[in-house]
């Protein structure tokens, strides 16, 4: 699954406070979501495993294993209830969308990308930035994502970068934003693909063990009903990989990385001495942000989680 997007080299100083507020909310929602799903799945597997274990009869007492199995099942139900009522997954996605929206606007303004092109001290560009950021803050207003009263601020680093020459802006943008994001996408694509392969092997292994156990049980060589436990464990692994969306994410990240490679080449090859260099830069930088935003929008839509 998508982890939080750590700011690249030289990016942290540029981003305004609304980004960090939403970023922290997203990380917290992500951690809570994965932790509660993990416990839910583990407890369900535990309930299945305990249910197939031989009962322990002591001093003529009854079999206590069903009680343990029921307790694990009820524990899983508790985490399911918390996920449905508090919806940390929804907050995770909403906060990430807010953080990335703020980040995109901040970079566009700082490097004079469309629609914030123009002189460094352009009041029109600043007004347009504040208006668009205010719209984002209103859209995601939530005490844990964007607290009420949050201002559409411009950091000192954003103003300094905007006032810099085009060569400085291009170098900083390529290094801290485009290349940093591209490398992050590529590394995440490789990590997701590796995890998908690993979990796939685990699923196959559980199916083989479960099948062998069923044959052994039919043959009378095994008294424990291990097939049910293996089936439950395999189903749990499949559910976990579906939650993480490893293969779709790997494909989406790789596509985004390739798009940014193309944009990076275009930005690096542009003639800074041409008469229309600023207008060309404003368009190409906006295209780069569009490539990043498109991946986040697709990710968010694909992972929509209703209450």
pLDDT tens profile 188-231: 999 999 999 999 999 999 889 888 888 887 887 777 777 878 88
Q: For a pLDDT cut of 90, what percent of the chain falls above it?
A: 39
**Residue 85 CB coordination number (10 Å):** 8
Contact 134, 140 (CB under 8 A): no
pLDDT score, position 45? 87
- Model pLDDT for residues 85-130, shown as the tens digit of each residue: 988 988 888 888 889 999 999 999 999 999 999 999 999 999 999 9
pLDDT band at 61 (very low <50, low <70, confident <90, very high): low
d(CA 168, CA 124): 23
In this predicted model, which residue has the larger pLDDT, 234 or 299?
A: 234
Neighbouring-strand partners of residue 142: 146
- 3 state DSSP class of 9: coil
pLDDT at 299 over 70: no
pLDDT band at 1 (very low <50, low <70, confident <90, very high): very low
* Percent of the chain clearing pLDDT 70 (strictly above): 88
pLDDT at 19: 92
Place 44 in a pLDDT band, splitting at 50, 70 and 90. confident
Q: What is the dihedral of CA 256, 158, 271, 262, to 10 degrees?
A: 0
Domains of the chain, by residue range, sit at 17-54+63-302
Mean pLDDT is highest, among 45-54, 136-145, 165-174, for: 165-174
Mean pLDDT of 233-258: 87
Residue 56 has pLDDT above 50, yes or no: no
Q: CA–CA separation, 89 vs 40, rounded Å?
A: 14
- What six digits make up the tokens of 7? 């700011």
Query: CA–CA separation, 148 vs 138, rounded Å?
Result: 8
Q: CA torsion sign, 260 to 262 to 267 to 269?
A: positive
C-alpha dihedral, 212 to 215 to 217 to 219, nearest 10°: -130
Beta partners for 141?
A: 146
């Amino acid at each position: 699954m998508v982890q939080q997007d750590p700011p690249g080299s030289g990016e942290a100083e540029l981003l305004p406070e609304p980004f960090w507020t939403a970023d922290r909310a997203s990380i917290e929602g992500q951690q809570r979501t994965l932790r509660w799903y993990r416990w839910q799945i583990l407890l369900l597997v535990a309930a299945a495993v305990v249910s197939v274990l031989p009962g322990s009869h002591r001093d003529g007492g009854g079999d206590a294993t069903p009680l343990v199995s029921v307790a694990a099942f009820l524990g899983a139900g508790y985490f399911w209830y918390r996920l449905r009522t508090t919806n940390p997954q929804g907050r995770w996605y909403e906060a990430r969308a807010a953080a990335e929206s703020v980040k995109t606007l901040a970079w566009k303004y700082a490097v004079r990308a469309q629609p914030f092109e123009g002189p460094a001290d352009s009041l029109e560009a600043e007004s347009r930035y504040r208006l668009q950021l205010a719209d984002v803050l209103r859209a995601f207003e939530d005490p844990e994502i964007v607290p009420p009263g949050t201002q559409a601020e411009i950091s000192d680093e954003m103003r300094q970068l905007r006032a810099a020459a085009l060569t400085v802006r291009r170098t900083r943008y390529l290094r801290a934003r485009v290349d940093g994001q591209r490398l992050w996408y590529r590394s995440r694509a490789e990590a997701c693909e590796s995890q998908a392969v690993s979990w796939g092997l685990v699923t196959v292994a559980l199916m083989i063990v479960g099948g062998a156990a069923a044959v052994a049980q039919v043959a009378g060589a095994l008294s424990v009903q291990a097939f049910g436990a293996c089936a439950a464990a395999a189903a749990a692994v499949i559910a976990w990989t579906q939650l993480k969306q490893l293969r779709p994410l790997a494909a989406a990240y790789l596509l985004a990385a390739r798009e940014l490679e193309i944009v990076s080449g275009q930005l690096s090859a542009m003639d800074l001495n041409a008469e229309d260099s600023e207008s060309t830069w404003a368009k190409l930088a906006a295209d780069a942000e569009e490539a990043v935003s498109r991946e986040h929008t697709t990710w968010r839509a694909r992972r929509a989680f209703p209450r």
